[in-house]
Amino acid sequence: MIKVLLFANLRDIAGASQIELPLGNMVQVRDLLADLVSHVPGELIEALSDESAMVSVNQKYAGWDAPLFDGDEVGILPPVSGG
């Protein structure tokens, strides 16, 4: 399984802070983002499609082409606004 964590506005849109998806045929982060389409509201996909959201794999920033393995934790990170 892949544990997907959603934060801030993305979590509000999805109505969930965490989604578990089977690894299935997913190879890269971008496969996961494509698969998310069938699990979350369309507005979330819109929010993701401008690619302003960053992604992390196992709590490290990663590119959309990063490889995925069973048990990975993937964070979908809206533009940060700390400080």
Interface residues with another protein (CB under 8 A) are 5, 7-9, 12, 52, 56, 59-60, 75, 77-83
Q: Tell me the residue type at 72.
A: D
Q: Based on CB atoms, which residue is closest to another protein, 9 or 28? A: 9
Q: How far is the CB of 24 from another protein (least distance, A)?
A: 25
Q: How far is the CB of 8 from another protein (least distance, A)?
A: 4
Q: Based on CB atoms, which residue is closest to another protein, 20 or 25? A: 20
Q: Based on CB atoms, which residue is closest to another protein, 36 or 74? A: 74
